[in-house]
Chain A
Amino acid sequence: MNGEPLVRWDWLLAHLGPIADRVGQHLYLAAIAVGVGFAISFALAALSIRRRRIYPFVVVLATAAYTIPSFAMFVALVAITGPSVISAEIPLVLYTLILFVPNIVAGFDSVPWDVLDAADGMGYTRGQRLWRVELPLAVPLVVVSLRLASVSTIGLVTVTAILGDSLGGLGYYILDGYHRHFTTEILAGGLLSIGLAVVADRGFVLLQRLLTPWAARRTVGG
């Protein structure tokens, strides 16, 4: 813009420490959102499986949450919970629900009926069937939902930068670079965020391979 090179390597080298801290914060914010979102979603999915009639309502609510623009939700929450981690996490968690719940439900639905029939016929109790048969067999789709939610959340964490300099993870560099017309900062924040998303995705694929040695090798995108 003003005759500078596209990437100022000297700036990157001088800021390795702070960049590493921002990577850490980014992962921390994303991990909380994915973890809490998964816990809430698992409960909602379990409820939906037992009472099928509530499932459409759960999906409608989760979809509705997803339609709210993230920017608007972060700004609105500042008025209530201030520029805090809470304000960052509430939208991040809400956005994961629509990625988790349908996939977890589909995971349990994908357990073949003959396997359930055999389990019942051989004398599994209800709880034994859930933990020893249904849950392990739902793992492939549950892992798919973890991949979706983690990639989506890692991207969204950058938007939390609008809550203030103390938040945002790598988004801090994107926003700061934008204000200062400093391309190197924008690229660093953006590319590292993409890198984290890819690493998380591959990590879950690896996890699935470890958890499901029994599956014929046709993992989506694996």
Chain B
Amino acid sequence: MSSRLSSFGPVSGSAGVASRTGAASLEFRGVTKRYGRGEQAHDAVNDLSFEVPAGAICVLVGPSGCGKTTSLKMVNRLIEPTAGEILLDGVNVLTEDVTELRRRIGYVIQQVGLFPHLTVGRNVAVVPALVGWSKERQRVRADELLSLVGLDPASYRSRYPYQLSGGERQRVGVARALAADPPLMLMDEPFAAVDPIVRERLQDEFLRLQRDLAKTILFVTHDIDEAIKMGDFVVVMEEGGRLAQFGPPDEILAHPASDFVARFVGADRGLKRLSLVTIADLELESTAGSARAGLPTFAPSTRLRDALSVLLAADSRGGVALDDGGRPRGFVTVDAIASALSEDGHGRARLPKGAGARAAAGDAEIAAANHASAAPGDAKVTAAGGDS
């Protein structure tokens, strides 16, 4: 079991991090996909425009049938757009040779799509083989990537896919997509088929990997929490394939552009914003009381949402924020956490002294979420809160 949950990070003694070539910028410009003709016609994607800078993760999120997967598949032209342009580093993908294009773009799907008849090593080296690398170079590259995604090459390279767990398959899928060092990766619900514990681990480790790789990534999910966690940018889509909102996760949570987006992100969007901020982001000016024994302590990487949960569960007025060395850095209160959501807030809390926190925008939302059914003022949001 331990190997199935093993880390996405490099195996010790491995060949090291994959080489880093550039990442490409990605732009959707008025992209439409229409099916059928005349009265039967309907748009799967309607006039979609957004821009992702090189090296960023952009998540397409929305209810099923909103056209997010269609949008993703238009980038590598598994589906051809009806109108509009998709620019990869400024070049319209529609003008390129489709086979060449696909070999330059990493592709990861929910069902993984590993080739059952090829070993793990050969699965990873599929694109290098297609573009004619030597056998030796393919083998070295496959080992390097297996290490990168946390699978020991010596034990995994000769296995067949049926001998892997769901989480291991998904790691191999990611390694395969990275094999030819693509400047862009398309990931279609890559972590949706594994259980929640493995999913969270894969997400965390993929984000850690991405810090080194800095690929441009277009990521599809139906899960708003995953979108917020993974995305540098989030594209919220609604039925009919229209763009509902585009922006960084915090902006979408703090300022939903429409009722649809507010409903989609959920009544607990205040809490979700807290999950974007860590204890390390909090500015704490006071260490008063932090020496007291018996209080909960928080590592710098603790998310404010989790810290709040700990404080509420412990029925404690405050806890101690630790620095990287494990020394007390300051005193964290519920008010201090709430103030992270204040209007200017990108997690930069001022020293809370009671009054400030009460006025903070997120405070009401936290209350609403905690007592969802008993919050008539927020009824519209609450009613649809469950469908994300």
Interfacial residues, chain A to chain B (CB-CB below 8 A): 112, 114-125, 128, 133, 136-137, 212-216
Q: How many angstroms between the C-alpha atoms of A204 and B126 in the bound complex? A: 29
Proximity bits, B109-121, A CB within 8 Å = 1, else 0:
1111111111100
Q: Name the residue of chain A whose CB is nearest to the CB of B73.
A: A121
Which residues of B have CB within 8 Å of A124?
130
Q: Name the residue of chain A whose CB is nearest to the CB of B177.
A: A122
Cross-chain contact A214 with B162 (CB below 8 angstroms): yes
| B160 interface contact, C-beta 8 A | yes
| B76 interface contact, C-beta 8 A | yes
Select B102's contact among A116, A120, A215, beta carbons within 8 Å: A120
Cross-chain contact B78 with A125 (CB below 8 angstroms): no
Q: A115-B116, A214-B117, A214-B118 given as contacts; is B78 within 8 A of A120 (CB)?
A: yes
Cross-chain contact B109 with A137 (CB below 8 angstroms): no
Q: How many angstroms between the C-alpha atoms of A128 and B118 in the bound complex? A: 15
14 of the cross-chain contacts (CB-CB < 8 Å) are A112-B113, A114-B113, A116-B113, A117-B78, A118-B112, A118-B114, A119-B115, A122-B102, A122-B107, A123-B130, A125-B99, A137-B116, A214-B161, A216-B162
Q: A122-B126, A125-B99 given as contacts; is B109 within 8 A of A115 (CB)?
A: no
Chain B contact residues: over half helix, strand or loop, or mixed? Answer: mixed
Q: A121-B78, A213-B160 given as contacts; is B127 within 8 A of A112 (CB)?
A: no
Cross-chain contact B130 with A118 (CB below 8 angstroms): no
Total number of residue pairs linking A and B with CB closer than 8 Å: 70
| B344 interface contact, C-beta 8 A | no
Q: Name the residue of chain B whose CB is nearest to the CB of A120.
A: B78
- B120 CB to nearest chain A CB (Å): 11
Which residues of B have CB within 8 Å of A116?
113
On chain B, the number of residues with a Cβ less than 8 Å from chain A's Cβ atoms is 29
- B168 CB to nearest chain A CB (Å): 15
Cross-chain contact A214 with B116 (CB below 8 angstroms): yes
Select B111's contact among A112, A119, A136, A137, beta carbons within 8 Å: A112
| B315 interface contact, C-beta 8 A | no
Q: Name the residue of chain B whose CB is nearest to the CB of A118.
A: B113
Q: How many angstroms between the C-alpha atoms of A115 and B115 in the bound complex? A: 6
Cross-chain contact B107 with A118 (CB below 8 angstroms): yes
Cross-chain contact A117 with B113 (CB below 8 angstroms): yes
| B195 interface contact, C-beta 8 A | no
Q: How many angstroms between the C-alpha atoms of A153 and B29 in the bound complex? A: 62
| B39 interface contact, C-beta 8 A | no
- A121 CB to nearest chain B CB (Å): 4
Q: How many angstroms between the C-alpha atoms of A131 and B354 in the bound complex? A: 71
Which residues of A have CB within 8 Å of B136?
none
Give the interface centre of B101, B105, B107, B117 by most chain A CB atoms within 10 Å. Answer: B117
Cross-chain contact A123 with B113 (CB below 8 angstroms): no
Q: How many angstroms between the C-alpha atoms of A200 and B195 in the bound complex? A: 45
Interfacial residues, chain B to chain A (CB-CB below 8 A): 73, 76, 78, 99-103, 105, 107, 109-119, 126-127, 130, 160-162, 176, 186
Which residues of A have CB within 8 Å of B126?
122
Cross-chain contact B76 with A121 (CB below 8 angstroms): yes
Cross-chain contact A136 with B103 (CB below 8 angstroms): no
Q: How many angstroms between the C-alpha atoms of A119 and B105 in the bound complex? A: 13
Which residues of A have CB within 8 Å of B162?
214-216
Q: How many angstroms between the C-alpha atoms of A136 and B118 in the bound complex? A: 10
Q: How many angstroms between the C-alpha atoms of A213 and B160 in the bound complex? A: 9
Cross-chain contact A214 with B109 (CB below 8 angstroms): no
Which residues of B have CB within 8 Å of A114?
109-113
Q: A213-B160, A214-B162 given as contacts; is B127 within 8 A of A122 (CB)?
A: yes
- A168 CB to nearest chain B CB (Å): 41
Cross-chain contact B99 with A215 (CB below 8 angstroms): no
Q: A114-B111, A118-B109 given as contacts; is B127 within 8 A of A123 (CB)?
A: yes
Select B103's contact among A115, A117, A122, A214, beta carbons within 8 Å: A122
Which residues of A have CB within 8 Å of B116?
112, 115, 137, 214-215
Select A121's contact among B109, B110, B114, B118, beta carbons within 8 Å: B109
10 more contacts with CB within 8 A, not counting A112-B116, A114-B110, A212-B117, are: A112-B111, A115-B113, A117-B78, A117-B113, A118-B107, A120-B78, A121-B113, A121-B186, A125-B99, A213-B160
Which residues of B have CB within 8 Å of A213?
160
Q: How many angstroms between the C-alpha atoms of A59 and B114 in the bound complex? A: 33
Q: How many angstroms between the C-alpha atoms of A51 and B190 in the bound complex? A: 33
Q: Name the residue of chain A whose CB is nearest to the CB of B130.
A: A123
Q: How many angstroms between the C-alpha atoms of A94 and B343 in the bound complex? A: 80
Q: How many angstroms between the C-alpha atoms of A120 and B103 in the bound complex? A: 10
Q: Name the residue of chain B whose CB is nearest to the CB of A137.
A: B117
Q: How many angstroms between the C-alpha atoms of A115 and B176 in the bound complex? A: 13
Q: How many angstroms between the C-alpha atoms of A26 and B103 in the bound complex? A: 51
Q: Name the residue of chain A whose CB is nearest to the CB of B118.
A: A214
* 10 tightest A-B CB contacts, nearest first: A118-B113, A114-B111, A123-B102, A123-B103, A121-B107, A114-B113, A214-B160, A214-B117, A136-B117, A216-B162
